[in-house]
Structure 1
Amino acid sequence: MKQLLFLFLFFSISISAQNTLNGIVKDVDSNKPIPYVTIAFSSGEKLFTDVNGKFNFSYSDNNLPIHFIRSGYTKKTITHSVQFEKTIYLDPLSKEKRQAAELFSIENAEKIIAKVFQNKNKNNPQKAISRFEFKSYNKVTITANPDSIVGRIDSVYNPKKNKFKIDSSDYKFKKIIEKQHLFQTEKISQFQWEKNFFKETVVGSKMSGFKEPIYEVIGLKLETYNLYDDKYDLLESKYVSPISKIGLSDYTFQLIDSISVNNRPSYVLFFKNKKKINRKGLEGILFIDQENYAISKAIFRIRGILDLTSIHDYEFNDAKKLWFPSTTEIKIVKGKNDDPIKVLGGTIIFEGEYKNTELTRPKYASDFTYLDSKTSYFDLNFEPTSSLNNKTFTIEVLESAIKKDESFWDNYRKENLSFRDKNTYASLDSISMQRGIESKILFGRKIINGYLPVGPIDFDLKYLLSYNNYEGFRLGIGGKTNDRFSKKFRLEGYTAYGLKDETIKYQLGAATRIGNYSNSWIGASYTDDVSEIGSTKFNIDKRVFKIYDPRPINVSTFYNHQTWKGFVETKILPKTESIWQLNRSHVTPLFDYVFNLNGNLYTNYTMTTASVSMQWNPFSDFMHTPKGNFEVEKRFPKFTFQWTQSMPDVFENDFSFGKIDIRADYEKKYLNGQKTSLLAQAGYAYGDVPLTHLYNNQPNNLDRDRLLQRVTVAGKNSFETMYFNEFFSNRYVMLHFKHGFKRIELFKKVKPALVMVTRMAWGEMEKPEQHIGLNYKTLNDGFFESGIELNQIYKGLGLAGFYRYGPNQLSRFEDNIALKITFSLDLGI
């Protein structure tokens, strides 16, 4: 009897047993994959193959028959399990029938998508509802499927040493990945929408291997929440939305099926970019509610060096008659590229997919690594109890976010942590402590910005070595204290020595923090150094580290200044940074120059000034964290303002004058890879101002007879055909316009970027009689130059040519031409 009962149970289990099948659907004639084929089960459930025609699903015999359906092909039906194969082939219809089917599909899809566009504002929650809020739980995992890894120990031949060695890396990787993930982070956020402002407040954050999370990672925008926006964000890249006005003409649409989503019938539309230049851009399927033409589900795919798949699920809200996001999942693997894509210093290598199936590059264990991000949205509330008052920051990380206990996480997690999830936190936390991962990341951050941290001091690499025509080679050392010294106080300074002028320069300074929220500091310093004459400096400009700064090499006219400075720097005003300074400088020109003021001749002078320098980024998005504020999304234009005023009654001051400087930066990146940038800058010096503190308009050309003798490295925003000390002004305005085209691949490692450049400037000198000893011209009639840059031809090096024209054109043709070497190095700053 027991045996009969056992056989009955076994038979029952066998009848309902689930079969897992993964494979691909292909065209029987061309052998090419067919994307987004409908897989229809007898139960009424429907699935779709991905953009590569691949599928993966579980079924039982009760689900049979299963139909494979695609417009333009004959339907294929599987009635028995034995008929299933890894590759399902579909027979294309005759040419005439296929064209008719595709035409019917396209025409109907275009009618549907037109109605989607017409009803965008009605279906967009951020247009239809003035305010609402919700919470989200996000989990990001970098891992691999251990079942895909063989994990064997191989014997590898080393031709240099003429012997074999044991390679156990795959075996070790499989053992690790069976127990844990490579990286894992969780985040709980509250989102608020009110009056066209969308804010995220991070109430809980947990990151494996780190006591305190990397806040820049928290600020990453992995995907778009609102699919009705004109641009779709995926992994910090922007794409044209298929339901935007541009998208209607950029994409082709096909109606491939209909399906029920949340018990509401929906059309299923396949879309892809019709432009060849974007053939590897956004594509996917849209599920469109047949009643209100709203998005009820979406699957997006981007194929390139990395393959990204994003799935957006929605729930229909009966009260508001609107669809709201319920979950979003993003998966990233390596795309069709034979070269490994390394992330986090080579710790992670994304797997490749090959167009040519005959490629036999062996797959290593780490090739199966992928990134998976899942976000669940819940607690949707249309009547928030609190108003959204502070709109300075689009992301705010609460100080208590990293202090949450397990009961908090258990309350918000949408699924329990698996065995591997739990091990990831425990293992990586211990590894982090052993190897000092946090300190290594901090070290990397500082190196990128030009600092070498050694204990409590960050040594500044820009002081080590430089060159100019006056000092020759300049050797130095400098730096500032860091948080290991003190979080409230800092000391800074440098010393340098010019081998040509044989003079020591130095600076000493100190500051104390007076505000954490606004990151405000008050401090003082003393400097004895040289500066280029007529150079425009905005005190608020962020320090930019350059391994090689070409323009100062050719500068030969400097002045020495011995300067006492007191300052306050703060970010207390929304979306601004400002520095308030009081300076007293004793200035000595280091060239043949005399300043004539009412018959009094000055070869050196004392200047006491007060100044305020401010940068305003009104359209950028900012994140506030316990560690300070970060600009998480740069938007343009950006504005910079500086006012300097002499103070005759404070200390000593030889002259009465003032200066007003303004700058506007604009940059636009296009979805096709091109970029336009515009810089507008103006300055006005009034009163009695020596030439050392007027404007030279950033020249970058040598006064030499032959063209090839004038070849130098191009600057970022300098006039390449303007000679040093050729023009000076006490008021000026200049415009720089650049348009960069998408990089073109000429050879495997030669991918130049073509940039068109035009620059112009106007200026005048109101009191030329005051300046004795230096011959110069004015810019009353304007200065104009245009050029072409071929950047990054090879390893960051490029070539450029510029031509000078207009009223200040020179009589000899070749004197108006400047040939330049360009150098681009992206350090992620």
Structure 2
Amino acid sequence: MKLFCFLSLFFTLTIQAQFQISGIVNDPNNKPLPFATIKTSDNLSAITDIDGKFTFTAPADFAYYTVSYVGFETKTITVIKNKKFYTISLSEKTDDLEEVVVSSENPALAILRKVILNKNTNNPQKKLNSFEYKTYNKLIVTANPDSIDGRIDSSAVYKDLDKKKINIDSSDYKFKEIISRQHLFQTEKVSQYQFGNNKLKETVLGTKMAGFKQPVYEIIAFNLQSISIYDNKYELLETKYESPISNNAFKDYNYKLLDTVNIKGRETYMIYFKNKLKRKTSGLEGVLYIDQENFAVAKAVMRIKGVLDISGIHEFEYAPNEKIWFQSNTTFKIVKGKNEEDIKILGGTIQFDADAEESFEPRKKVASDFTYLLSESNNFDIHYNTNPPIKNPALYIEIKEDANKKPETFWEGYRKENLDLRGQKTYLLLDSLSIKKRVEKRLGIGRKIINGFYPVGPVDLDLKKIISYNNYEGFRLGLGGITNDRFSKDFRIEAYTAYGTKDGAFKYSTGAGVLLDKSTNTWLNAYYMDDVREIASTVFAVDKRVFKIYDPRPINISTFYQYTGWRANVQSKIIPKTEAVLEVSRNLIEPKFDYLFNLNGRLYSSYIMTTAMLSVVWAPFSEFMQTPTGRNESDKRFPRFTFQYTQSLPNVLENDFNFGKIDFKAEYEKQYLNRQKTSLLLQGGYAFGDVPITHLYNTAPNNLTKETIVQRITFSGRNSFETMFFNEFFSNEYVMFQIKHGFDRIKIMRKVRPSLVLVTRMAWGNMENPQQHVGPAYKTLDKGYFESGIELNKIYKGIGLGGFYRYGPNQLARFDDNIAVKISYVLDLGL
């Protein structure tokens, strides 16, 4: 969701030139020299990038600059009036190439060993008991007008051989005109950071976002780059990479000592590092400036070059009293990299155009080629070891209620320099454009559609209720919705009704909720329902609603039970890093299949259940954000755990049975730099007491009882057993484990790029008191159940194919019966 909002603003809004000198530094063989040092006669400095390129934005009156690189002769370049690009070739030294070699070992490795050894001494979050500081951040999406060709091109189009029509292509001209007077997007933020008890918290004091009265909180929480340079994992654009100074860095990186540089009056080593892997997504590359005395990081340049060219720069100030380098400035930049095909996000709403292949004529450049994102942060008002009181330390980010209502005098007091004319016009023009094009409203609609709703006035229509299909109800046609903030921010009403074309019955639900506490998202809700549900299915009350255009697995389900009654619950995020639901319900249960429950000789064809239930999801490694509208999970991390306990209430409201249920789920995901992904799921349940089969466990089967493989082809589920037949197994206690590993997409043709996923699932279970269940014939899972398969997803326009095989103790006698072929469909929203 954060990525959707962030990239949407980055590109959907894309609808004072400064004097610059740029160039490229090469070796005698015309190969670029990355991270060469550039110094001007006015003591300005810069370094070349990975491709040996550099850019200076500076006054025009400096006379010369020098270019130096270890092992090469330093060269002095005289600035020529009106010349803006310089190609510089350095000559190798022949007399003192070995000067930096202090031993037989690579000197950079010896320095890095001392950096890693002294990390805890130099890391502010390890050395200091506490600290606090404020940060001013400005983020812009813009382009340099001077880099855009503003000509109006014409192209000839012939029609019927005798008529000629001229099309005028003015896109570059219009884009240059826009970018000369404003940025494409701009936002400012002032935050206070507090560190204590090994926890760092950001409190947003002020935020200002062009085009939006209400800030897009997802952008505020978006993690562009790591705050600390000393973490074992370094983060760029919410992707984690092995740090070049991590404890295991030597197995991932090569290092080279480039130069010695004076920073803030202290001598530093300039060390170039590059990931050893040769793949396109090879990881970080950059430069570390290491203090020669204490081996602390005095400056760092981190870069990833792929489909996007991303760089992060960290600058530090030396605090002599604390004898520590403390971060003073950070810079983050994104420009377009190299991509062999169009990158589409949200079904093509956002797009990077592909680079043309060498054998074809290069395509004309478009806006995304010139556009870049730049985020700059300046730290100030720094205090060490002050032990500041930190309110709600479990929160990662807290946004003050009045953060978006600060007057201009507030911003003038924090800006390092006043906004230029382009910056001032950006707020005025984008605010106007946002109103004209209803950007804020469209973004709000997009948020709700992703969650399965469409707003119509004060009501959000529930898209999941419109149409579905299963083997019991047939086509289920319905209408439902919930009131939104336009109706009330403190009270909500929700309802739905549905009709099954096969069972000929109406279902419905109606309910209401009242907000008890906004900061913890605490609601008190009550509902009355008359509906059906799959038998023996596991439903965690705290599971997030997942919206799909279709829900494939229920298509094949034919055994349901009807439940009629009420439930009341309290849902809250009051406990840090958790969300909980406490619920009491009473329902009349009527199985819609041939079944009787035998309790002490009495046969029940229907029964009343009065229960209390507590459901909790715990995400100990996730980060949470407190906004004026409530508490949200800003950074979802794994593992995460879900617990649920259900207990019947004997002799309460005519309850028939005494039983309890304990359910548990653990989820883990790991994404790799090469775009592979591993997912693990461990789930189990234990039902004790007198529990009818409707409320036991079936471990999510998804295979039809048909004669041939072709007859059994259907849609695959998400975490279901694809070779297990419906109603084949039931258990009152079970455990299941699933492992999925997805590989990067394989390019077969330009538009055929399937993703290969390997899947293995296994389950064990047991059924106590099988004599209580009269009617259905079933087996138990006491010997275990095993299946493995291969999925080729997204073969063409989201459609894929999978094959699964059943083996082990519950393998069937006929070979064909152990095979299941499934169709998959993945709607890629780029989230």
Shift of 1:421: 0.9
Name the counterpart of 1:749: 751
1:312 alignment partner AA: H
Shifted more, 284-293 versus 105-114: the winner is 105-114
Shifted more, 703-712 versus 18-27: the winner is 18-27
The correspondence of residues 396-545 of structure 1 with structure 2, limited to 5 A, is: 396-545=398-547
Name the counterpart of 2:279: 277
List gaps (5 residues or longer) in structure 1.
1-17
What per-residue deviation string (whole Å, max 9, x for no partner) do you get for residues 274-306 of structure 1?
Answer: 111355431111111111111111112211111
Shift of 1:558: 1.0
Name the counterpart of 2:23: 23
> Whole-Å Cα distance in 2 between the matches of residues 105 and 83 of structure 1?
48
Name the counterpart of 1:737: 739
Name the counterpart of 2:727: 725
> Whole-Å Cα distance in 2 between the matches of residues 314 and 543 of structure 1?
44
Tell me the secondary structure at the aligned position of residue 111 of structure 1. helix
The alpha-carbon distance between structure 1 residues 522 and 416, as it changes in their structure 2 partners (threshold 3 A), is same
What per-residue deviation string (whole Å, max 9, x for no partner) do you get for residues 749-784 of structure 1?
Answer: 333333332222111111111111100011111112
8 A contact 1:744–1:751 mirrored in 2: yes
Shift of 1:104: 8.9
> Whole-Å Cα distance in 1 between the matches of residues 649 and 326 of structure 2?
61
The alpha-carbon distance between structure 1 residues 480 and 275, as it changes in their structure 2 partners (threshold 3 A), is same
Name the counterpart of 2:52: 53
The correspondence of residues 762-781 of structure 1 with structure 2, limited to 5 A, is: 762-781=764-783
8 A contact 1:470–1:558 mirrored in 2: yes
Tell me the secondary structure at the aligned position of residue 147 of structure 1. helix
> Whole-Å Cα distance in 2 between the matches of residues 586 and 83 of structure 1?
85
8 A contact 2:598–2:604 mirrored in 1: yes
Shift of 1:61: 8.3
The alpha-carbon distance between structure 1 residues 77 and 523, as it changes in their structure 2 partners (threshold 3 A), is closer
8 A contact 2:341–2:353 mirrored in 1: no
Name the counterpart of 1:647: 649
Shift of 1:826: 3.5
Tell me the secondary structure at the aligned position of residue 178 of structure 1. helix
2:32 alignment partner AA: P
8 A contact 2:731–2:767 mirrored in 1: yes
* Percent of residue pairs identical: 55
The alpha-carbon distance between structure 1 residues 555 and 89, as it changes in their structure 2 partners (threshold 3 A), is same
Tell me the secondary structure at the aligned position of residue 472 of structure 2. coil
Shift of 1:28: 4.4
Name the counterpart of 1:6: none
Name the counterpart of 1:596: 598
1:216 alignment partner AA: E
Shift of 1:725: 0.3
Shift of 1:797: 2.7
> Whole-Å Cα distance in 1 between the matches of residues 28 and 765 of structure 2?
72
> Whole-Å Cα distance in 2 between the matches of residues 760 and 411 of structure 1?
61
Tell me the secondary structure at the aligned position of residue 325 of structure 1. strand
| 1:113 is the counterpart of 2:112 | yes
Residue-pair matches, total: 810
The correspondence of residues 798-813 of structure 1 with structure 2, limited to 5 A, is: 798-813=800-815
1:787 alignment partner AA: G
What per-residue deviation string (whole Å, max 9, x for no partner) do you get for residues 110-129 of structure 1?
Answer: 22222211111111111111
8 A contact 1:102–1:254 mirrored in 2: no
1:819 alignment partner AA: V
Name the counterpart of 2:14: none
Shift of 1:668: 2.4
8 A contact 2:281–2:306 mirrored in 1: no
Name the counterpart of 1:13: none
> Whole-Å Cα distance in 1 between the matches of residues 641 and 111 of structure 2?
44
| 1:88 is the counterpart of 2:87 | yes
> Whole-Å Cα distance in 2 between the matches of residues 83 and 438 of structure 1?
44
Shift of 1:675: 2.4
Shift of 1:482: 0.6
The correspondence of residues 595-744 of structure 1 with structure 2, limited to 5 A, is: 595-744=597-746
1:361 alignment partner AA: R
Shift of 1:708: 2.2
Shifted more, 509-518 versus 85-94: the winner is 85-94
Shift of 1:809: 1.5
Name the counterpart of 1:5: none
The correspondence of residues 776-791 of structure 1 with structure 2, limited to 5 A, is: 776-791=778-793
1:88 alignment partner AA: T
Shift of 1:26: 2.8
The correspondence of residues 296-315 of structure 1 with structure 2, limited to 5 A, is: 296-315=298-317
Name the counterpart of 1:142: 141
> Whole-Å Cα distance in 2 between the matches of residues 159 and 524 of structure 1?
68
8 A contact 2:341–2:355 mirrored in 1: no
Shifted more, 484-493 versus 142-151: the winner is 142-151
> Whole-Å Cα distance in 2 between the matches of residues 357 and 312 of structure 1?
40
Name the counterpart of 2:6: none
2:766 alignment partner AA: E
Name the counterpart of 1:3: none
The alpha-carbon distance between structure 1 residues 383 and 100, as it changes in their structure 2 partners (threshold 3 A), is closer
8 A contact 2:742–2:757 mirrored in 1: yes
| 1:69 is the counterpart of 2:68 | yes
Tell me the secondary structure at the aligned position of residue 811 of structure 1. coil
The alpha-carbon distance between structure 1 residues 697 and 341, as it changes in their structure 2 partners (threshold 3 A), is closer
The alpha-carbon distance between structure 1 residues 100 and 748, as it changes in their structure 2 partners (threshold 3 A), is farther
Name the counterpart of 1:169: 171
Tell me the secondary structure at the aligned position of residue 276 of structure 1. coil
Shift of 1:193: 1.0
Name the counterpart of 1:572: 574
The correspondence of residues 126-205 of structure 1 with structure 2, limited to 5 A, is: 126-157=125-156, 163-205=165-207
> Whole-Å Cα distance in 2 between the matches of residues 342 and 410 of structure 1?
39
Tell me the secondary structure at the aligned position of residue 277 of structure 1. coil
For 1:362, which of 361, 364, 367 is the aligned residue? 364
What per-residue deviation string (whole Å, max 9, x for no partner) do you get for residues 58-98 of structure 1?
Answer: 5888754x443334555544468599884434366599999
8 A contact 2:130–2:388 mirrored in 1: no
> Whole-Å Cα distance in 2 between the matches of residues 139 and 105 of structure 1?
47
Tell me the secondary structure at the aligned position of residue 656 of structure 2. coil
What per-residue deviation string (whole Å, max 9, x for no partner) do you get for residues 666-699 of structure 1?
Answer: 2222334332222111211112111111111111
> Whole-Å Cα distance in 1 between the matches of residues 505 and 404 of structure 2?
51
| 1:290 is the counterpart of 2:292 | yes
8 A contact 1:150–1:365 mirrored in 2: no
8 A contact 2:129–2:385 mirrored in 1: no
Name the counterpart of 1:391: 393
CA RMSD of aligned residues (A): 2.9
Tell me the secondary structure at the aligned position of residue 494 of structure 2. strand
1:548 alignment partner AA: Y
The alpha-carbon distance between structure 1 residues 531 and 366, as it changes in their structure 2 partners (threshold 3 A), is closer
Q: TM-score, normalised by structure 2?
A: 0.92
8 A contact 2:342–2:353 mirrored in 1: yes
> Whole-Å Cα distance in 2 between the matches of residues 608 and 731 of structure 1?
21
Name the counterpart of 1:818: 820
What per-residue deviation string (whole Å, max 9, x for no partner) do you get for residues 332-383 of structure 1?
Answer: 1111236566789989876988896995322245632211111001111014
8 A contact 1:570–1:578 mirrored in 2: yes
Higher relative contact order (CA 8 A, sep 6+): 2
1:573 alignment partner AA: I
8 A contact 1:529–1:561 mirrored in 2: yes
What per-residue deviation string (whole Å, max 9, x for no partner) do you get for residues 24-83 of structure 1?
Answer: 123443x4432222335567765322111112235888754x443334555544468599
> Whole-Å Cα distance in 2 between the matches of residues 437 and 609 of structure 1?
46
List gaps (5 residues or longer) in structure 2.
1-17
Tell me the secondary structure at the aligned position of residue 409 of structure 1. helix
Shift of 1:209: 1.0
Q: TM-score, normalised by structure 1?
A: 0.92
The alpha-carbon distance between structure 1 residues 304 and 159, as it changes in their structure 2 partners (threshold 3 A), is farther
Shift of 1:739: 2.5
